[in-house]
Structure 1
Amino acid sequence: MVWGCMSAAGVRKLHVIEGTMDHKMYIDILNFFLSVSAEKLGLGGDFVFQQDNDPKHTAYNTKNWLLYNVPGQLHTPPQSPDMNPIEHLWRILENSIRGRQASNLAEFIDILQKAWEEISPAMTKNLVDSMPRRLQAVIDAKGFPTKY
């Protein structure tokens, strides 16, 4: 499992997660990586954070941490968990590493990191710019699934 951050300006380094992630580990990751990633992406403290409705993302402690540490959040309706544009990046990443051979975990992580870093800012900008259409699609579908 990995954690990654994206904006219209591009992506930041992927964080590889060892073991099973629970809400405590997720908060630790956010605490350590979110503000640093936002700063390096040129967002400073002015950004809207979006995640899906995974239980560790919606846990009480996570919600409290986000309330005090994130300037704004875009909440995803339960029926549209893949509306988040980063879901499309995960698919792009998966397609870009398909067929590459790794002889061990460290080599696989290196391949994954390099493929992540090759994702262009133009790609992430396009995904971020699609958000108004994504939101309108959810409104039009009255909260039910969309093509996104």
Structure 2
Amino acid sequence: MVFPDGSGLFPQENAPCHTAKIVWEWFEEHVKESMVLPWPPDSPDLYPIKHPWEVLEHHIQSRDCPTLQLAEIKDLLLMSCCQIAQDTFRGLVESMALFIRAVLVS
């Protein structure tokens, strides 16, 4: 059992990977353990980590690297993370209030 006390709450942001048949079948099998939270179809994105992941992905894909070992990938990710400007993170934190207001309105 994933949440034996029935406390599992899952926000489904309507992404295709969240609404796939196999996902809904899993939730139907675990209905006593968890609940899927209703989510408006056009809700604002409340995952601020999404933007830094995109920056990180772009930085890594722009490098001409041969196939790397796991330790090398870890080092590359850490180095790339350190190169993301602090203003990027500051802007994400400061924008969260707007996103939260938009969710409360919807």
TM-score, normalised via structure 1 length: 0.39
Matched residue SS, 1:83:
coil
Pair 1:99 & 2:54 matched: no
Q: CA RMSD in A?
A: 2.9
Pair 1:119 & 2:84 matched: yes
Letter in 1 for 2:47: N
Matched residue SS, 1:130:
helix
Q: What does residue range 122-141 of structure 1 map to in structure 2 within 5 Å?
A: 122-140=87-105
Q: In structure 1, which of residues 86, 90, 93 is the aligned counterpart of residue 49 of structure 2?
A: 86
> Number of matched residues?
70
CA shift at 1:81, angstroms?
8.6
Matched residue SS, 1:103:
coil
In 2, Cα distance between equivalents of 1:81 and 1:139: 10
Pair 1:110 & 2:89 matched: no
In 1, Cα distance between equivalents of 2:93 and 2:55: 15
Maintained 8 Å contact 1:83/1:134: yes
Maintained 8 Å contact 1:53/1:81: no
Percent identical across equivalent pairs?
Answer: 34
CA shift at 1:93, angstroms?
1.1
In structure 2, list runs of 5 or more residues that go unmatched: 4-9, 13-36
Runs (4+) off by over 6 Å: none
**Structure (1 or 2) with the larger CA radius of gyration:** 2
Maintained 8 Å contact 1:97/1:111: yes
Q: What does residue range 63-82 of structure 1 map to in structure 2 within 5 Å?
A: 79=39, 82=45
